[in-house]
């Protein structure tokens, strides 16, 4: 009877793993890179592809540059509300004030975008960042627009030049930040930028996906 109980528990655990959904956002391949939308603010950040034992990654280098790589992709947050990000900052932007216009740069950031109107200006965005100066958990409105919020998921105060994997519930974050009940997002983007501080940043992105738990 005891053995049967243990087998039954194992089966339930295994079944939950099978039922857990996973939606991969970026493949980080040459084919995919050609299809990504480039949003240039000031010159283009250098994005190159690589791989390690954990799969493909995207390396970003920026010195006075600011451009992002975006993808239109609908994500059902009722089924897969958690965004998972593995990233690393090799060279950070220590000493800048990220809450100000002059220092509003990040060595690594991932945007999630919710369309709330007919134009891009009406969209709401959460900008998940790997901060160089602020602690994990802090968030604030962008100094350039109240419709975008910076949310610190990792900080080089704790993890400089180390791979870090983070996870957060995007649906709950939209509710907490904007008081919006968001069931679906329509796009994501990656961006490493230093156009305001003019400093050098080097970072890496890997294994970005949504999950049910």
Q: What is the pLDDT of residues 42-66, one digit of tens each?
A: 889 999 999 999 999 999 999 999 9
Block residue for tokens 């940043």: 201
CA nearest neighbour of 188 among 119, 106, 110: 110
- Higher-scoring residue by pLDDT: 30, 122: 30
- Mean pLDDT for the stretch of residues 7-19: 45
Looking at domain 21-211, its CATH superfamily turns out to be Galactose-binding domain-like (2.60.120.260)
Residue 175 is predicted with a pLDDT of 97
Read off the pLDDT band of 192 (50, 70, 90). very high
- pTM, whole model, 2 decimals? 0.88
Average of per-residue pLDDT values in the chain? 90
pLDDT of residue 12: 40
What does the DSSP 8-state code read for residue 135? P
Return the minimum-mean-pLDDT range out of 5-9, 75-79, 95-99: 5-9
Beta strands across the sheet bearing 184-193 = 37-42, 66-76, 184-193, 106-114, 124-131, 148-155, 139-141
Distance (Å, whole) CA 70 – CA 68: 6
For 20-146, where are the alpha helices, taking DSSP H only?
A: 30-35
């Amino acid at each position: 009877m005891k053995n049967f109980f243990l087998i039954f528990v194992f089966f339930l655990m295994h079944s939950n793993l099978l039922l857990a959904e996973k939606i991969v956002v970026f493949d980080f391949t040459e084919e995919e890179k050609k299809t990504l939308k480039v949003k240039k603010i000031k010159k283009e950040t250098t994005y190159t592809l690589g791989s390690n034992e954990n799969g493909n990654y995207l390396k970003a280098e920026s010195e006075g540059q600011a451009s992002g790589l975006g993808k239109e992709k609908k994500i059902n947050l009722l089924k897969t509300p958690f965004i998972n990000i593995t990233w690393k900052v090799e060279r950070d932007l220590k000493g800048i004030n990220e809450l100000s216009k002059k220092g509003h740069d990040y060595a690594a950031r991932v945007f999630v975008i919710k369309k709330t109107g007919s134009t891009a200006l009406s969209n709401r965005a959460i900008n998940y960042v790997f901060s160089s100066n602020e602690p994990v958990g802090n968030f604030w409105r962008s100094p350039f627009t109240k419709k975008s919020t910076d949310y610190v998921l990792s900080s080089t105060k704790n993890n400089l030049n180390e791979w870090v994997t983070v996870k957060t519930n995007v649906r709950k974050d939209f509710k907490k930040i904007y008081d919006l009940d968001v069931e679906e997002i329509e796009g994501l983007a990656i961006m490493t930028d230093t156009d305001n501080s003019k400093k050098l940043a080097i970072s890496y992105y890997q294994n970005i996906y949504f999950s049910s738990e």
